[in-house]
Amino acid sequence: MAVTVPRPRLTWRERLYLPAIVAGLAITFKHFKNMLLGRTKVTMQYPEQKWDSSLPEHYRGAPALVRDEDGRVRCVACQLCEFICPPRAIKILPGEIPSTDRFAKVEKYPEQFDIDMIRCIFCGMCEEVCPEQAIYLRKDYAITGFTRAEMVHDKEKLLEIGGVMHGVVLKWNEKK
Amino acid sequence: MDSFFIITSLLKIVGILFVVILPMVSYVVYAERRVSAFIQDRLGPNRVGPAGLFQPIADIFKLLLKEDFTPRAANTFYYWLAPCLAVMPAIITIAVVPFGSTLFGVPMVIADVNVGILFVFAIASLGVYGIVIGGWASNSKYPFLGGIRSSAQMLSYELSLGLSVIPVFMLVGNLRLTSVVRYQIEHGWFIAPFVGDWINPWKWLLTIPMIVSFLVFMIAMFAETNRLPFDLPEAEQELAGGYHTEYSSMKFALYFLGEYAAMITGSAVIVTLFFGGWHFPGIPDGSHGWIFGLINIAVFFTKVTIVILFFMWIRWTLPRFRYDQLMRLGWLFFFEIALVNIFLVAAILPYIPKV
């Protein structure tokens, strides 16, 4: 069914268009002026301003390995994270801790621990599954590189991101 | 004397083209982007250099390094010719516009011809060829439609453009643009006659048709330079870019340059005809010292910049006209208004006591 849209009858002032044009110019000038005086809120200027200070506690950024207060790499190379990882981004090569070591009773340590950051989906399952509180998702989100090889975080890189974790259970202490 | 004339003319041409117009075009593009951004609550280009001031240079390099593509179906000769035709008239027009008084006794106008405004109209209307030929030679629908629209639009607005300035020349008495400026120095600017014999009430009566004339001329100038309320030939939403859809690289840049150069020359003509050219109350002309000559040039280009900013302001405020509205406006309103305006001025003119 055809519907006839009623057109409003314009008064002569409206048909002159000039008042409307002037009103429009006034509006755009107001926006221009507010911008010039810095009163307008604009988008965050990303590389200069960052979210870092206001990221929530539960933010899931790049996964990282941590050391504890004793300076020990907490990972015991149980490979649970490697199993759980949905995109299979983690590769662990376990090694044996020599008997002369201070933490010899831990028995295993990761000789190699690679996380492919191209694959990682930041799901946090590795953190959840870890029985040793050794892997955490940190707040780094801008992970970039020029090559694929650069995007694979090796053990040193992961420890560097992770740093030292305080307040975790120290179940491998000599005293225990 | 002759060689002196040739050398100063060459200096003026090179100076006005490479020192003023071309840098001005690139910075007008930058200003356009910044102003539009500010009006739309954005920031615009602010990364390259301080406040993005080197953006035009980066843009020029980008355009130079892009692939210069010619579609196989295009008519190569005209396809290459059209961008040149778009730039040329816009730049040539500036030749007759006086951009300053005198500097070391040399008049600051490249060619002080006695047909002044006719020359401006004759050359400026050639600008449509760049668009029409470009649209035709691309051998593609959208540029073709853009070209057609452009030719119709230019034809309709050329009329009111020409008629609207007749009152100015009825007052001045000849077509030379320098004498238009001279007249405005003696009798006050046409828009606001505050200098000269401004106490004369008839003078003020005359400003009413002058303002009408100015409005019609400016609106026709918008249409002539394809600025936004009338940018039908390059309506992005309807024509995928219009006449320059098939152009890339430096050829596209030439179109861009032509459009903005036309805007600058258009503003220069508006300033000369209605805002007293290089004159500003209280500032003497170049015969009182070279410093005043330079100040006169600065005054002129400041006025041009203000008019260009107004062009931009209008562009980012008003939506585009529909094609039939455009034609209706051109033929039924501006043409008649300009015509009536001429008679109005002619009726007032005999009552103005000669000074």
| pLDDT digit string, tens, across residues B208-266 | 888 888 888 888 888 888 777 787 777 777 777 777 788 888 888 888 888 888 888 88
Percentage of residues in chain A having pLDDT higher than 70: 98
Of B37, B43, B316, the CB nearest to A28: B316
Percentage of residues in chain B having pLDDT higher than 70: 94
β-strand A152-153 against A108-116: which pairing, if any?
antiparallel
Q: Which residues of chain A have pLDDT under 70?
A: 174-176
Q: What is the pLDDT of residue B198?
A: 60
Question: Whole-number mean pLDDT of chain B?
Answer: 82
Q: What is the pLDDT of residue B197?
A: 60
Chain B residue at shortest CA distance from A30: B39
Interface of A with B (CB under 8 A): 21, 24-25, 27-29, 31-32, 35-36, 40, 42-43, 45
Average pLDDT over every residue of B193-203:
65
ipTM, two decimals: 0.75
Q: In which domain, by residue range, is B164 found?
A: 70-351
Percentage of residues in chain B having pLDDT higher than 90: 0
Q: What is the pLDDT of residue B195?
A: 64
Length in residues, chain A: 176
Report the number of distinct structural domains present in chain B: 1
Give the pLDDT confidence of B47-65 residue by residue, as tens digits: 887 888 888 888 888 888 8
Measured between its terminal Cα atoms, the distance across chain A in Å is: 86
The 3 state secondary structure assigned to B179-238 is HHHHHHHHHCCCCCCCCCCCCCHHHHHHHHHHHHHHHHHHHHHHHHCCCHHHCHHHCHHH
CB atoms within 10 A of CB B196: 17
Query: Which chain B residues are within 8 Å of A27, Cβ to Cβ?
Result: 317
Q: Is residue B42 part of a domain?
A: no
pTM > 0.90: yes or no: no
Q: Is residue B3 part of a domain?
A: no
Answer yes or no: do A28 and B41 touch at CB < 8 A: no
pLDDT > 60? residue B302? yes
Rounded to 10°, the helix B116-124/B141-164 angle is 170
Chain B residue at shortest CA distance from A26: B317
Instruction: Please choose, from the candidates B166, B337, B122, B130, the residue with its C-alpha nearest in 3D space to the C-alpha of residue B247.
Output: B130
Say which CATH topology domain A55-162 has: Alpha-Beta Plaits (3.30.70)
Answer yes or no: do B41 and A42 touch at CB < 8 A: yes
Q: What is the pLDDT of residue A146?
A: 92
Q: What is the pLDDT of residue A86?
A: 92
DSSP state of A10: P
Q: Is residue B152 part of a domain?
A: yes
Q: Name which of B36, B41, B48, B310 to mutate to probe chain A: the one with the most chain A Cβ atoms within 10 A of its Cβ.
A: B41
Q: Is residue B93 part of a domain?
A: yes
Q: Name which of B38, B214, B332 to mutate to probe chain A: the one with the most chain A Cβ atoms within 10 A of its Cβ.
A: B38
Answer yes or no: do B41 and A43 touch at CB < 8 A: no
Greatest distance between any 2 Cα atoms in chain A: 99
Task: Give dist(CA B73, CA B9) in Å, integer.
Answer: 43
Q: What is the pLDDT of residue A93?
A: 92
